[in-house]
Structure 1
Amino acid sequence: MKSFFISIYFVLSLFHTPILQETRKTTATFDGYVNNQFKFTNSEGNSFTFHSISDTAKNTFDLTQDKFKGVLFYISFEMIQTQDKTSPKYTIVGLKKLE
């Protein structure tokens, strides 16, 4: 019976597409909220687009308002990539205003 459950677990795990998640950090200036995405640019000119923001970060800074444009932030974010190699999605999990 034990080997039966192990076999079922193995077969079911073949159909599961696990998600790889990685936390990263950067410092960047907020460019705005465009098309439901949060846009930032760092000092090297690299642009970052975040698809969502955690409730904790959202409650600290409402980036849908223009008053944060041009503000420098220290950003903690998660990159979520499925194994089927679709485009990764980036979620802001922490924000700290720098001045």
Structure 2
Amino acid sequence: MGNLLRLLARDDSCCSHQKYDVFLDFENAEASEEERVLYEDVGEVLRGSHAVISDLQQYKGAAKEIREAISDPGDECQRRAWEMVTPLVLKLKHFYLFSNDIGE
């Protein structure tokens, strides 16, 4: 596949190489038996990608609460910061695990 893309991306303006007309039908492509496991693994990872992207776009952070907890060590500020940070840490862990899945 890489050689095909390199061939198609080649700048032939300086030379008189033959032009290629290639059509790749990605919509109707089928995985071979050898590719089936990889195809299913990639599909599984991609199914979760929309939720991860949505969560990333809505991620606000808790910088204000953290600053307040640092400047005021009272129990109320500490509790508020903890309540804001804990779910964010779980989201960050989810993002990290998703990035590992992509890497695999």
Is TM more than 0.5 here? no
The higher-RCO structure (CA 8 Å, 6+ apart) is 1
**Bigger proportion of residues as helix:** 2
TM-score, length basis structure 1: 0.25
Larger radius of gyration: 2
**Bigger proportion of residues as strand:** 1
TM-score, length basis structure 2: 0.24
